[in-house]
A = this chain, B = another copy of it.
Amino acid sequence: MDEKKVRVGLAGYGTVGCGVAKIILEQADSIAAKTGIRLELGCVVDLDTESKRPVELPEGLLCDDINCILNDDTIGIGVELIGGTGAAKDLQLAMLRAGKDVVTANKALLAEYGEELFGCARENGRCIAFEASCAGGIPIVSAIRSGLTANRIESMYGIVNGTCNYILSNMTSKGIGFEEALLAAQQLGYAEADPTLDINGGDSAHKLAILASLALGCQIHLDDIYVEGIEGISRDDIHYGGEMGYCLKLLAICDHTEDGKVSLRVHPSFISKDDSLANVNGAFNAVSIFGNAVGELTFYGRGAGMMATASAVVADIIDVAIGNSRAAFESLNMRSHEEIKDDIVGIGESVSRFYVRLMVKDQPGVFSQIATILSENSISISGILQHEGEGPDNTVPVVMTTHPTRQSKVSAAIESLDGLDTVCSEPVCIRIVDIPEDKD
């Protein structure tokens, strides 16, 4: 087989950039043997050309001038790994206008400006490949875009942020609090110095916007997605939920209501310990997709990290070089946001089961007060957990789970409960997500 030489320009020489360079430098021969594509690093651009990196580049390859990529016509593919939505956007647009196909891992940028970037790519006859933007090394973008085209995707449940999953896994297995778990994650490099966008659910929402757009065939906007992070999670609730058979995960969810509307949300979710997503621990990611023909498909792997993400970036580079990505990109017919926006329900209309914990005064009549308020809001209790003689200051935790209920009703009940003088601290309310079971 004749080899086709493909020169790559890499913008952003941080963790993932180093991984990409390492694979191209070390695996070019084996990739050429398998695919006929010989990858060559044409240029690596980063503002920081001084710091020591874990991967040594050949002399003269690293520079700080993006024009070295833009003006080099021998470079056919531009890889944007600088992140963020400012300079990265200008850079992707410039690469496309300079006639280069773009490969990126930048979920924030695609979630916010995907339409504009895709439009620019089409105008210039180029493509954008973004497998690495969601769930790192897991080939979930191509699975949804190509593998599941014959399906109507009914629902999708993803653990797509490794930082949150690492923190929640550690809180669960070690019984530690959020702050301690976050600190441990930072010390081990699983959380950034500023972890806000991870723990507040924003990063998961970016990925959900991308995956849901592909799954639904419609442009999904970030503000279609309800987002709640894990900052407020206490180890007590993980513990009590565990006693009731649940495991806490931050899930990105796309599903349909009974009347066919779409619900998009990211929030802490109690799921059954028997669900396959309950066994996804540490910094790993997993996504379960339910298609009307294929049933359940679950994908599991590393959602972040130097080499796992680089694996997806380089796979995309090869796919672009082969022509696969171009074909896939051109056939990607995403309808406008206009066509779906009225079919998306807000969180108030979404229905789920709930875990509710109240810290109440240990005195007669309290339970009757609580039961009355729930009943007035048509909320039906499915389980109750109250241990004898626990809690500080003569308070005891009362933990309840509900049958499926509309969010707006639960919010109203929580407000009333919070007003009781026997309820001593703000009620805790966590959604219970019943992931469908595809069984024989």
Contact of A279 among B27, B276, B308, B328 (CB under 8 A): B276
Please, which residues of chain B bring their CB within 8 A of the CB of A315? 146-150
Quick check: B1 and A146 within 8 Å, CB to CB?
no
Quick check: A293 and B327 within 8 Å, CB to CB?
no
Quick check: A440 and B152 within 8 Å, CB to CB?
no
Quick check: B139 and A147 within 8 Å, CB to CB?
yes
Shortest CB-to-CB span from A249 to chain B, Å, is: 16
Contact of A311 among B151, B188, B300, B311 (CB under 8 A): B151
Quick check: A147 and B166 within 8 Å, CB to CB?
no
| CB of A242 closer than 8 Å to a CB of B | no
- Residue among A149, A279, A313, A327 having the largest count of chain B Cβ atoms under 10 Å: A149
Of residues 286 to 324 in A, which have CB atoms within 8 Å of B's CB atoms?
291-302, 307-308, 310-315, 318-319, 322-324
A-B contact pairs, 25 of them (CB 8 A): A27-B152, A30-B217, A34-B217, A35-B332, A36-B333, A131-B147, A137-B294, A138-B297, A139-B139, A139-B143, A139-B147, A139-B297, A146-B319, A147-B315, A148-B311, A150-B315, A190-B440, A276-B300, A282-B440, A293-B310, A295-B301, A295-B302, A302-B438, A322-B330, A324-B327
| CB of A344 closer than 8 Å to a CB of B | no
Please, which residues of chain B bring their CB within 8 A of the CB of A31? 149-150
- Number of A residues near B (Cβ < 8 Å) is 67
| CB of A37 closer than 8 Å to a CB of B | yes
Please, which residues of chain B bring their CB within 8 A of the CB of A331? 35-37, 322
Task: Give 9 new A-B contacts, CB below 8 A, not counting A131-B147, A139-B139, A298-B301.
Answer: A23-B293, A31-B149, A139-B297, A148-B311, A282-B439, A295-B307, A296-B302, A297-B300, A327-B327
Quick check: A440 and B131 within 8 Å, CB to CB?
no
Please, which residues of chain B bring their CB within 8 A of the CB of A166? 440
**8 closest A-B pairs (Cβ-Cβ)?**
A139-B147, A150-B314, A137-B294, A293-B311, A294-B311, A297-B301, A323-B327, A298-B300
| CB of A33 closer than 8 Å to a CB of B | yes
Copies of this polypeptide in the complex = 2
Contact of A150 among B152, B276, B311 (CB under 8 A): B311
Closest B residue to A438 by beta carbon equals B302
Quick check: A150 and B333 within 8 Å, CB to CB?
no
Q: A327 vs B321: C-alpha distance in the bound complex, in angstroms?
A: 10
Closest B residue to A306 by beta carbon equals B293
Closest B residue to A300 by beta carbon equals B298
| CB of A142 closer than 8 Å to a CB of B | yes
Quick check: B324 and A146 within 8 Å, CB to CB?
yes
Quick check: B293 and A150 within 8 Å, CB to CB?
no
| CB of A341 closer than 8 Å to a CB of B | no
Q: A384 vs B31: C-alpha distance in the bound complex, in angstroms?
A: 47
| CB of A283 closer than 8 Å to a CB of B | yes
Q: A263 vs B59: C-alpha distance in the bound complex, in angstroms?
A: 41
Quick check: B146 and A139 within 8 Å, CB to CB?
yes
Q: A375 vs B308: C-alpha distance in the bound complex, in angstroms?
A: 44
Shortest CB-to-CB span from A291 to chain B, Å, is: 7
Shortest CB-to-CB span from A188 to chain B, Å, is: 8
Quick check: A149 and B314 within 8 Å, CB to CB?
yes
| CB of A19 closer than 8 Å to a CB of B | yes
Quick check: A146 and B152 within 8 Å, CB to CB?
no
Quick check: A291 and B311 within 8 Å, CB to CB?
yes
Contact of A308 among B293, B324, B328 (CB under 8 A): B293
Quick check: B33 and A150 within 8 Å, CB to CB?
no
Q: A301 vs B33: C-alpha distance in the bound complex, in angstroms?
A: 31
Shortest CB-to-CB span from A34 to chain B, Å, is: 4
Of residues 1 to 38 in A, which have CB atoms within 8 Å of B's CB atoms?
1, 19, 23, 27, 30-31, 33-37
| CB of A335 closer than 8 Å to a CB of B | yes
Given the known A-B contacts A148-B315, A327-B323, A331-B322, are A217 and B295 also in contact in the complex, defined by CB atoms under 8 Å?
Answer: no
Please, which residues of chain B bring their CB within 8 A of the CB of A293? 19, 23, 137, 307-308, 310-311, 314
